[in-house]
């Protein structure tokens, strides 16, 4: 079973490759250390006869200065346009930001694995998502359940704005990154304040 590994940490990658290939089931067919490299690998499956869509993708949430989650809608659209099944994506991160994890799941990730987990949890997570189920590291899953009522309040675009506020981006930066005007950003923030009862960006950053 072919695996695409997207992570910019070579030593960690070597460990994951070793764990997967020792099973005799998985082969890491390609690796990418940036968002652009990952997208290029997926696009090659359409232009090169020898290339094929991987059966599983392991994706780091942070790729240098790039947001690894930006890969998810690209993969979704590619598979939809080509009318091919989308491989399950296991998002990994050293960060346990429950809001970003919720965003990953809404964008179509099949699961989230904390990098603090070991070999057994990695294989358990992979087995779970290959069976069509969602996997989330246990300690993170508790946070998600605790905050589920909060997440349900927001639209996908509001979550995008919240994510950027949590990264301490200004309204002008948010507008540029989301390709919307400044007034629209202000409207989204007003809605977020109304839905949460918050009155400051600092409170939003603690979500």
- Structural domains for the chain: 2-148 (3.40.50.2300), 153-205 (1.10.10.10)
Length of the chain: 207
* 179 φ, ψ (degrees, to nearest 5): 55, 45
CA 187 to CA 7: how far, in whole Å? 35
Longest dimension (CA), the chain: 55
pLDDT means per 10 residues in the chain (207 residues)?
Answer: 93 92 93 93 73 89 86 93 92 78 86 87 94 81 54 77 88 91 93 88 86
What are the pLDDT digits (tens) for 183-203?
999 999 999 998 888 889 998
* pLDDT in the model for residue 51: 60
At 152 the pLDDT is 65
**Cβ atoms < 10 Å from Cβ of 206:** 8
Predicted confidence at residue 157, as pLDDT, reads: 84
Model's pTM, two decimal places? 0.71
What is each CA distance from 146 to 134, 150, 180, in whole angstroms?
Answer: 18, 9, 32
Residue 49 pLDDT: 52
The pLDDT of residue 104 is 86
């Amino acid at each position: 079973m072919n695996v695409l590994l997207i992570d910019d940490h070579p030593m960690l990658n070597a460990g994951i490759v070793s764990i997967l290939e020792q099973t005799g089931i998985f082969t890491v067919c390609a690796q990418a250390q940036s968002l652009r490299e990952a997208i290029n690998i997926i696009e090659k499956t359409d232009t090169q006869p020898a290339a094929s869509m991987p059966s599983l993708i392991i994706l780091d949430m942070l790729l240098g200065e790039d947001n690894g989650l930006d890969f998810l809608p690209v993969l979704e659209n590619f598979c939809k346009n080509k009318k091919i099944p989308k491989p399950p994506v296991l998002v990994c991160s050293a960060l346990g930001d429950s809001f970003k994890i919720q965003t990953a799941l809404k964008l179509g990730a099949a699961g989230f694995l904390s990098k603090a987990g070991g070999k057994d949890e990695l294989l358990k997570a992979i087995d779970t998502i290959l069976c069509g189920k969602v996997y989330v590291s246990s300690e993170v899953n508790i946070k998600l359940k605790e905050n589920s009522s909060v997440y349900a309040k927001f639209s996908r675009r509001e979550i995008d704005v919240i994510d950027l506020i949590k990264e301490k981006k200004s309204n002008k930066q948010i507008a540029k990154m989301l390709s919307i005007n400044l007034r629209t950003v202000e409207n989204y923030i007003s809605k977020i304040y109304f839905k949460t009862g918050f009155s400051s960006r600092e409170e939003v950053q603690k979500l």
